[in-house]
Amino acid sequence: MEWLNQIAWPGFSGMVEILILAAVFYGLMLFFKGSRSVLIAVGLLLILIVLLGMTRVFHVYALNWLLSRFSVYLAVALLVIFQPEIRRALAELGRQPMFSAPAESRDFVDSIVEAVMLLAERRIGALIAVERRVGTKAIQDTGVRLDARVNSDLLATLFFPHTPLHDGGVIISGNRIVAAGCLFPLSQRPELSRGLGTRHRAAMGLTEETDAIAIVVSEETGTVSISTRGRLSRDFDEERLRRFLGAVLTKETESTSRWSRARKQLDLSFQGIAKTDELSREEGADGR
């Protein structure tokens, strides 16, 4: 048991550092979970570790030295590999929800649900993206710009077969349909099932790069699916779809509404102070 006495146990500050590092690594694992970049990075690291081990076992010191120098540039390689995820994370960090437009109301959620269920019942393919905090302007530019309030009839009509805009995706921002016929980026994850159609891959590709919610209606089966953060959940019925959208979008609505009310109260307070100062100056002038 003497070897236990030779171990330098971390003190209080060391334990705090360990906990912080564990929390950071755990957060990174959750953020990159399910991403195709994880598989690439793990494969690259395994190859490097195996090669380094083989060079030491077989005493190939020149190759070992070369691989050790190569590992210095591994950080740059990881930046390139995780470029989509890093871009999404930076976009989320740079968002300013307190200055965003008023979010969706309950009627807005109902309109989307009614349109989606109508399309699913008639087996009309559809792809709807609800923009949240990360902007989608570049993707909106690939389609036709609109500026219409979300309406179930209008939303369903946009996907009616043989119309010019039915083959692309619709983007909703705030409570308005801002673009239709848009081309979404396709997910390139190799582990995806070949049974997934283009619409499902497009929904996952968009949500891999933004925090949008993508709703997909399958043209073959009428199945309703939702993609968030690059992951796809399938077989949504009307009640489950309404609960999901209501839970996500109504939460944002409440937080934004609270900020809007507080900002209005602050503006009214400043107006009251300004009026009081103006009356004081007028009274002072009359007294003179």
Residue-wise pLDDT for 63-84, tens only, equals: 777 777 776 677 777 777 777 6
* pLDDT per position as a tens digit, 171-228: 998 888 999 999 999 888 777 777 788 899 999 999 988 889 999 999 988 999 999 9
**Is the pLDDT at 276 greater than 70, yes or no?**
no
Do the beta carbons of residue 214 and residue 128 sit within 8 Å? yes
The whole-angstrom separation of Cα 265 and Cα 269 is: 6
> Does 253 or 31 have the greater pLDDT score?
31
- Regarding the domain delimited by 103-248, which CATH topology (the fold level of the hierarchy) does it fall under? YojJ-like (1 (3.40.1700)
The whole-angstrom separation of Cα 288 and Cα 125 is: 77
* pLDDT per position as a tens digit, 84-120: 667 766 666 655 444 443 444 578 899 999 999 999 9
Please, what is the Cα angle at 279 between 275 and 284, to 5 degrees?
Answer: 150
Q: Coil, helix or strand for 202?
A: helix
H or E, element range at 35: none
Do the beta carbons of residue 155 and residue 177 sit within 8 Å? yes
129-147 mean pLDDT: 88
150-178 mean pLDDT: 90
Tokens of 243: 């609960």
- Look at residue 285 in the predicted model and tell me its pLDDT: 47
Q: Coil, helix or strand for 231?
A: strand
DSSP 8-state assignment for residue 233 = E
139-147 mean pLDDT: 90
Ranges for all domains in the chain classified under CATH 3.40.1700.10: 103-248
Q: Coil, helix or strand for 114?
A: helix
234-251 mean pLDDT: 86
Q: Which of 200, 254, 194 is nearest to 231 (CA)?
A: 200
- Look at residue 97 in the predicted model and tell me its pLDDT: 47
- Look at residue 54 in the predicted model and tell me its pLDDT: 82
Q: Coil, helix or strand for 182?
A: strand
**Is the pLDDT at 13 greater than 70, yes or no?**
yes
- Look at residue 61 in the predicted model and tell me its pLDDT: 76
- Look at residue 7 in the predicted model and tell me its pLDDT: 64
List, in sequence order, every beta strand (DSSP E) within the chain: 126-130, 144-149, 169-173, 176-182, 213-217, 224-228, 231-233
**Is the pLDDT at 23 greater than 80, yes or no?**
yes
The whole-angstrom separation of Cα 93 and Cα 105 is: 25
- Look at residue 76 in the predicted model and tell me its pLDDT: 77
Radius of gyration of the chain (CA): 27
Tokens of 246: 């209501």
161-170 mean pLDDT: 89
- Look at residue 27 in the predicted model and tell me its pLDDT: 76
- Look at residue 64 in the predicted model and tell me its pLDDT: 74
Please, what is the Cα angle at 57 between 53 and 63, to 5 degrees?
Answer: 65
The whole-angstrom separation of Cα 63 and Cα 43 is: 20
Do the beta carbons of residue 218 and residue 125 sit within 8 Å? yes
118-124 mean pLDDT: 93
Least confident of 20-29, 140-149, 243-252, 279-288: 279-288
The whole-angstrom separation of Cα 212 and Cα 132 is: 5
- Look at residue 286 in the predicted model and tell me its pLDDT: 47
